[in-house]
Amino acid sequence: MKKPILVSGIQPTGRLHIGNYLGALKNFVDLQNSGKYDCYFFIADYHSLTENFNPAEKPAQILNLAADFLAAGLDPKKSKIFIQSAVPQSTELAWILETIAPMGELKRMTQFKDKSDAQQENVNVGLFTYPTLMAADILLYDAQFVPVGDDQLQHLELARTLARKFNSHFGRTFFEPKEILTATPRVMSLDDPEKKMSKSRPGGCLFIDDEPEVIKSKIRGAVTDSESVVKYDPKRKAGISNMLEIMSGLSGKSIAEVERGFAGMNYGELKHSLADYVSDYFEKFRKKKATLLKKSAVIKSALRSGSAKAKKSAEKKMADIKKKIGL
Ligand code: ATP
Ligand code: LTN
């Protein structure tokens, strides 16, 4: 029987942090290994052009993200791992979707507002139409499921709206994709636990390839509160609760179990123990990534074969889409 299709992408804009890992990448690997889905995972290089960038750094950023994918456990034999720009049909479909995308909905997108504020000297149209390209990435492969973090839900809602609208104007063509969230869909910043951990605020990020000393020093410096009891209470104890969530996400234990494990510890002991756990957890990953980066030909060949497979299904789908709209 045909398995349902699952698609997700990550932008090559910097190093992956533990929010990207617990909200997305770890779940990609678990979903791939469940054997229940036909998986497509890609590097969203076209999306990454909407942020200020240096062309000389782009190839290394792409290679680095591909190494993250493979070192974390994505397997080119099980999933199609590819580069967005290697499948031109996604930008082709993005244009078609733009012609049915309501301007008002795009204007309401939180990410557009946040990123426009963050780079006021470069509020480009691509930043505005970003969600239509994301919808194209999803609808092009007939995806029914999309694993993402909480900040992408608004974009996914638009993908459903566009699928529905296209289907009703031009006949049944697309699935309405559903999100798959993890138990930690919004990891908070270490230096400001009221804000989402984000690559645009590197000071609050725990990067998954950070060396153990860096992990220790970042966690030691994480913002907590003026009490001393380890307790899960995101409203009153955002910093401690975020650390409990990180521990729970990595260990697979419930928050209650994690809380019990730390019972009687002070904040310093909690931080020490979390830092050890995080550095041990990513030890294998760090080694595997370093080895992979020395063999870039292996990474490139995985991307080439994944891109060829993705392109094949995209070409077929695009022919149907064009027929539907009379082109
Ligand atoms: P960032 O804000 O760090 O730049 P992003 O959302 O702009 O991340 P990506 O790097 O492409 O862009 O995000 C990859 C995936 O990681 C997405 O599915 C996103 O929802 C998820 N993600 C990003 N930040 C977090 C977070 N703090 N907690 C959980 N998931 C997150
Ligand atoms: N916008 C996403 C990256 C992305 C994506 C997608 C995720 C681009 N296209 C399709 C899922 C499905 C982000 O994480 N910032």
pLDDT in tens, 275-322: 999 999 999 999 999 999 999 999 999 999 999 999 999 999 999 999
Residue 230, classed as helix, strand or coil, is coil
Q: Which ligand is nearest to the CA of 192?
A: 1
Among 227, 228, 222, residue whose Cα is nearest residue 247: 222
CA 20 to ligand 1 centroid distance, Å:
5
**Interval 139-163: pLDDT, tens:** 999 999 999 999 999 999 999 999 9
Q: Which atom number of ligand 2 is nearest to the Cα of residue 44?
A: 8
Confidence of residue 248 (pLDDT cuts 50, 70, 90): very high
Q: Determine which one of 58, 78, 165, 199 is catalytic.
A: 199
Residue bearing the CA closest to ligand 2, atom 12: 8
Evaluate if residue 200 carries a pLDDT over 90.
Answer: no
67 pLDDT tier (thresholds 50, 70, 90):
very high
Does the structure show a pLDDT above 90 at 1?
no
147 CA closest ligand 1 atom index: 18
Q: Which helix (H) or strand (E) holds 145?
A: strand 145-147
Q: Tell me whether strands 145-147 and 178-180 are parallel, antiparallel or unpaired.
A: parallel
pLDDT at 36 over 90: yes
Over residues 231-255, mean pLDDT: 97
Tell me the pLDDT band of 54, cut-offs 50, 70 and 90: very high
pLDDT at position 76 is 98
Place of tokens 């636990």: 193
**Under 8 Å between Cβ of 302 and 66:** yes
Q: Please say if 196 is a catalytic residue.
A: yes
More confident residue, 1 or 254: 254
| Ligand 2 centroid, distance to 48 Cα (angstroms) | 10
Indicate if the pLDDT at residue 123 is higher than 90.
yes
H or E segment to which residue 81 belongs: strand 80-83
Mean pLDDT of all residues in the chain? 97
End-to-end CA distance of the chain, in Å?
A: 33
